[in-house]
Chain A
Amino acid sequence: MTVTAVQKDANALTMTVTAEFDASPERVWQLWADPRQLERWWGPPTYPATFTALDLRSGGRASYYMTGPDGDATPPGYWEILIAEPPRRLEMIDGFANADGTPNQQMPGPGGMNVTIEPIGESRTRMTIENIFPDQGAMEQLLAMGQEEGMRQAVGQIDAILAEARAA
């Protein structure tokens, strides 16, 4: 069974996702390292991703695009791999590019993504993904492509304030 926790830090502009899987670290690493598997989870069902390159080594690069419900492709996304230590650690810059590979100024500015994969027992693995947002405007644009996933019950401080607003 998969256990998932999400921790949001508005101050540091990070969101950390922790998930536990009944699998080995090597199996979890494959989710990132095998482009065909990656394509099945990176994009939401309404915006499936196609990876045109995936070199998951320190200093390597990945390229992908997503296809929207109307059949249009999004500007290409890229990963700049800073550190890859299979099957335990992956640190990357995650951004959008123009067709010529230069950073796309119309899309959310590059953010950071740090993935840690650690065994926590017999055939059980914890994966932690720390997302570092460049700014909130970027966050909003990223969300515009994933919003089909819908809403979810909220957590955190903003919620507590809103609860008081309803009571007032």
Chain B
Amino acid sequence: MGPWFGHDVFKVLIFAVNTHEKPKKFLMKIREIENRLKKFRVGIAGAGGLGSNCAAALARAGVGSFVIADFDIVDDSNLSRQYYFSRQVGMLKTEALKENLIAIRPGLEVTVHNRRLDVTNIPSVFQGCDVIVEAFDSAEMKEMIIETVCRVYPETPLVVGSGLAGWGMTDLLKCRQIDRHLFICGDETSETSDEMPPLAPRVGIVANMQANTVLEILLNKPAS
């Protein structure tokens, strides 16, 4: 036999592994997870670096329904870390994010609220959400939504992002459960400033930590 024979056997083996064993197993499990996740609705409070990246990860994982609230428009400077594209500069963030989520999964249900969130409108905006993701920029707003959700929807899990400025220091990023329904992701120490701007990798890690926490909450929840 010439060397081509051995090569062919190798190709057949690769083919067998690729088409039968692992991918099929993963696919079945992924479909099962998607089927569970598509019944849930996640609220995204703020569609900046945390909110846009977190929503994209959740849409890919299979969450079926989103409520997105933000008042801002996509700016050039947002492209350094937020899940938007240069052609979307000038669009409302809610509309741009809806477009991007639906580009990932056409069947998604996305409700948008183009408004600044406050104590009075949070209850109606996020009514019916299974989990709420806090993705505001300012610490005052973070405090406001924690107080509001704990008071109005004490049974709704809230996943907060706090501390994501700068670069490196990956090992300082963590996620902890404060109580039954309150979770905090981030380093809890770094604050954005001129010297410590938010950048795509660390913002993306924290956004994905929030998304990962949401999955943990939803996949542990009994299907209704």
Whether chains A and B associate is: no
